Amino acid sequence: MRNNLASPWMKSVRNFVILIAVWEFVGRMDWVAGGALPSLSEILIQLWLDRADYPLHIWATVYASSLGFLIGNVLAIVAGIAFVLSPTLLRLMRGVNIAIFALPPIAIAPILVLTLSGMAPRVTLAALGVYFVTMSATVIGLSQYDSRSADLVRAYGGGNWLVLKLVRVRGAIPDILSGLRIAAPNAVLGAILAEFGGGGRWGLGTYLLGSLGRGDPARLWGIGLVATLIAGLSYAVFALISSRISGSTAIPSSHGSDGFSRPTQALILCGTVALPFILWWAFIKLTGVPDLIAKTPFGVFDYLFLSDTSAIARGKLLEALGQTLPIAAVGMIAGLAFAFLLAISSRMFPGFIKGFMPIALVTQTMPLVALTPLLVLILGRGYSVTLWITISVTFFPAFVLLVQGIQRVPQSVLDLPRAYGASAWKEMRMVSIPAALPYLFAATRLTVPRALLGVMIAEWLATGTGLGNLLNRSRGLLDYGMIWTVASVTVLLAVAFYYLVLIVERRTLARLGMQNVE
Amino acid sequence: MTSQPAGISLRGVGKTYRGRGKTVEALRDMNLECAPGSFTALIGPSGCGKSTAMRVALGLESYDSGEVLIAGQTPARATAGGVTGVAFQDAALLPWRSVAKNVALPLEVLGRDPAKSKVEIAQLIDLVGLKGYENALPGELSGGMRQRVSIARSLITSPEVLFMDEPFGALDQIRRRQMNVELQRIWSETQSTALLVTHGIDEAIFLADQVVVMHANPGRVVEIIDVPFARPRQPDLFSDPAFHALTDRIAKVLHEE
């Protein structure tokens, strides 16, 4: 009976202590891959021995991620306010927004290193990592407000600006804060990935990469722990400021086509598609990097189709795609399927979910993909490491989203089938699965970029195949055309996937009479 | 003040919502004259256009035909000039502002300095029976108290014309009657022209000089009934046989199609 009274918190703490104990024991016994998983005490001892190395590495990463966090969020909030005031602008920028959301940071890290210098690539990647989350949170926060309060201001002759100032901005602050909370670990991840991408002596990413070849598991784990700690702390700071539980992962959209004639709409659509390419072109012209190194969209087209070596380049690219895409798809499907099954069965094993949910939430704050070297250490350099990374980066966010979605179903709706004597299976079929379906689609959309990122990092660091490897090798061969090609093709693919899922989602849910989760 | 007549005047107002393949005629040829200082109640079933009529008069929605004058001006000029006051069904208080700051909101919208109206704000809070709650946040108040804050807020500009859209709709019957009695007292002290949108027949009769009965599809006025009872009206009017007779008559008009 006492056990029933224990809070979920106590259970989580208990599980955590058990986990640490098992870890210590397994590590001491060298049971995993011949000592690739050291015990916690061994890691801490190594951390102490290396203590002279850490301050400069930590400082470099924290500096880049903080600056990127600041710049990215200022831009995001300004953009969010502008988008709310002008839906046309939001629509026009949609292509850019989706591209920033979907781009796997590792794909453009080499580009940024080529075109920018010093800390700038790291700061840029960190800023890109936070922009989308905060921008969406700002738009959503400003869009959800009490229409009566807005009417009141209008009833006294107030315009859009006064409504924004008096009613909407203040109401959006909790949403913006929860956006900042989710964005904070992204900044750390961005900085570390840029460090993988090259340049600079200091930084936890550089340190991690440099230690990978030295075969000292305890040190690698120490760096991983410190990186996780920094990301977790940045998350905790904003979690403390805002006590909201769930953040929004929505993509703000301007629904309907009110007030625009067909030609105007077509014009806006053209602008939406063209704008990312225009910005790409402008970025290169503004940085003033020579054409040989920095390729404009035309340069990439030229490299792939018009130059003498085009055929060879296309062959390499297709071969890499053939290696990367199947394994990304398999890993993603496995991760999503596992998350879906576990989430819909949560009604049958509520105790397990209660104990597991905190762990799943904690992983959200970890720069999972930045910890790839640790998995390489355990799983070797084969395909299994790619698969496991992809599964882990898709499983956790999908699981959290699905469980939160199912929890939003009112208790009375869940109880209704039971009241008519339905079995647990029937109840699941009638309520839990349909309730989880919209969230499954949303999870698919949101995890596509993560899956690509996970696969590419594994390829870059470990397996020596696919797009990630092609990117890394081209760096060594100074094959600038290929670097730009891989980066642009990856981003295009991620955006295309996103839209593909969105179209299937809209069709399916419309047929089932459901709302999609924005 | 202005030499223009205070009051509300809707002449031949029409308003149609056009959706996808579906049009709703919210108002057809609506005529309504509210004399300065009079109290008018709009009553009718859901979708009869009574709220739309009020929103049109407040300039919150456009209209397709006819003419709307508030204190002799267009709705937009009247609202921007601080001629009108408004209270909605929900109290619509900003949850992060104290009672006093919520009451002061219309002044800020109109670009006036709330600091100059400290005395008026305190008087109004006292008038609605919330003295001592000036610094409370809406979350700390009961539903009835929040509604009284919204009444105080609607009066802060000393409006010539006061609009109320089911201001007591969220309250229980007992609290509602108390608020009716208080509203009559407050209104009689302000000398404003009042337009009340309501679902309750007894509320309409108790407060109004004229009750405007509306029907839906299309939204239109079917009858305007004068209320003869002398003011100030006492709570025992609710149990007067003449009151019941008038209630029955309005109910009959409401239910005939």
Report the mean per-residue pLDDT for chain B: 88
User: Is the CB of A157 less than 8 angstroms away from the CB of B86?
Assistant: no
Q: A177 — contact with chain B (CB < 8 Å)?
A: no
* pLDDT tens, residue by residue, A30-66: 766 666 677 778 888 888 888 888 888 888 889 999 9
Distance from CA of B231 to the nearest CA of A (A): 30
Which tokens sit at A517?
Answer: 């989760």
User: Is the CB of B92 less than 8 angstroms away from the CB of A148?
Assistant: yes
Contact residues, chain B, for A166 at CB < 8 Å: 94, 105, 108-109
d(CA A467, CA A317) in angstroms, rounded, equals 8
Which of B84, B92, B108 lies at the smallest CB-CB distance from A146?
Answer: B92
Distance from CA of A162 to the nearest CA of B (A): 7
Q: For chain A, which domains are there?
A: 50-252+262-288 (1.10.3720.10), 295-518 (1.10.3720.10)
Contacts of A88 (CB under 8 A, 6+ apart): A254, A268
Substitution target in B70, B97, B109, B146 with the highest count of A β-carbons within 10 Å is: B109
Q: A407 — contact with chain B (CB < 8 Å)?
A: no
pLDDT of residue B122 exceeding 50: yes
* pLDDT tens, residue by residue, B73-106: 998 888 888 888 888 887 888 888 889 999 998 8
User: Is the CB of A156 less than 8 angstroms away from the CB of B109?
Assistant: yes
Residue B27 is predicted with a pLDDT of 92
d(CA A445, CA A508) in angstroms, rounded, equals 14
Residue B194 is predicted with a pLDDT of 94
Which of B60, B93, B105 lies at the smallest CB-CB distance from A151?
Answer: B60
Contact residues, chain A, for B94 at CB < 8 Å: 149, 166-167, 170
User: Is the CB of B88 less than 8 angstroms away from the CB of A156?
Assistant: no
Give the residue from chain B lying closest to A160, CA to CA.
B109
Q: Order the strands of the B8-19 sheet from edge to edge.
A: B22-34, B8-19, B65-70
Q: How many helices (H) and strands (E) does chain A have?
A: 24, 0
d(CA B6, CA A21) in angstroms, rounded, equals 81
> How many C-beta atoms surround the C-beta of residue A308 within 10 A?
6
Inter-chain Cβ pairs, chain A and chain B, closer than 8 A = 55
* pLDDT tens, residue by residue, B229-257: 998 899 999 999 999 999 999 999 998 76
Q: How many helices (H) and strands (E) does chain B have?
A: 9, 9
Q: B251 — contact with chain A (CB < 8 Å)?
A: no
pLDDT of residue B3 exceeding 50: no
Give the residue from chain B lying closest to A152, CA to CA.
B86
Residue B1 is predicted with a pLDDT of 41
pLDDT, block means (10 residues), chain A with 518 residues = 54 77 77 70 82 85 92 94 88 87 83 82 90 88 83 86 85 82 85 79 81 74 80 78 47 48 78 84 80 81 84 87 89 90 77 72 69 75 82 84 78 66 72 80 85 86 84 83 87 87 84 66
Give the residue from chain A lying closest to B105, CA to CA.
A153
Distance from CA of B76 to the nearest CA of A (A): 7
Q: Which of A56-60, A430-434, B50-54, B140-144 has the lowest average pLDDT? A: A430-434
Which of B58, B60, B108 lies at the smallest CB-CB distance from A166?
Answer: B108
Any long-range contacts for B225-232 (C-beta under 8 Å, 24+ apart)? Answer: B225/B249, B225/B250, B225/B253, B229/B205, B231/B184, B231/B188, B232/B184, B232/B185, B232/B188
Residue A75 is predicted with a pLDDT of 95
Report the DSSP beta bridge partners of residue B221: B214
**Segment (H or E) for B118:** helix B118-127
Angle at which helix A40-49 crosses helix A8-28, to 10 degrees, equals: 70
Give the residue from chain A lying closest to B92, CA to CA.
A149
Tell me the pLDDT band of B38, cut-offs 50, 70 and 90.
Answer: very high
User: Is the CB of A154 less than 8 angstroms away from the CB of B60?
Assistant: yes
- CA distances to A149, A259, B98 from A175, rounded to whole Å, are 18, 29, 22
Q: Exposure pattern of B164-193 as b/e (b: 16+ CB <10 Å)?
A: bbbbbbebeeeebbebbbebbebbeebebb
d(CA B148, CA B154) in angstroms, rounded, equals 10
Residue A416 is predicted with a pLDDT of 65
Residue for token pair 């054409």 = A291
* pLDDT tens, residue by residue, A342-385: 888 776 777 777 777 777 777 766 766 667 777 777 777 778 88
Residue A256 is predicted with a pLDDT of 43
User: Is the CB of A152 less than 8 angstroms away from the CB of B79?
Assistant: no
pTM of the model: 0.73
Which of B59, B89, B105 lies at the smallest CB-CB distance from A166?
Answer: B105
User: Is the CB of A157 less than 8 angstroms away from the CB of B109?
Assistant: yes
Which tokens sit at A3?
Answer: 């056990």
ipTM reported for the complex, 2 dp: 0.71
* pLDDT tens, residue by residue, B168-211: 887 788 888 888 888 898 888 888 999 999 989 999 999 999 99
Q: For chain B, which domains are there?
A: 8-83+159-255 (3.40.50.300), 93-157 (no CATH)
CA B49 to chain centroid, in Å, comes to 14
User: Is the CB of A166 less than 8 angstroms away from the CB of B88?
Assistant: no
Which of A148, A155, A167 lies at the smallest CB-CB distance from B79?
Answer: A155
d(CA A461, CA A196) in angstroms, rounded, equals 9
User: Is the CB of B59 less than 8 angstroms away from the CB of A155?
Assistant: yes
Distance from CA of A157 to the nearest CA of B (A): 4
Give the residue from chain A lying closest to B150, CA to CA.
A152
Q: A149 — contact with chain B (CB < 8 Å)?
A: yes
Q: B61 — contact with chain A (CB < 8 Å)?
A: no
Beta strands in A285-342 (DSSP E): none
- DSSP secondary structure code for residue A93 in this structure: T
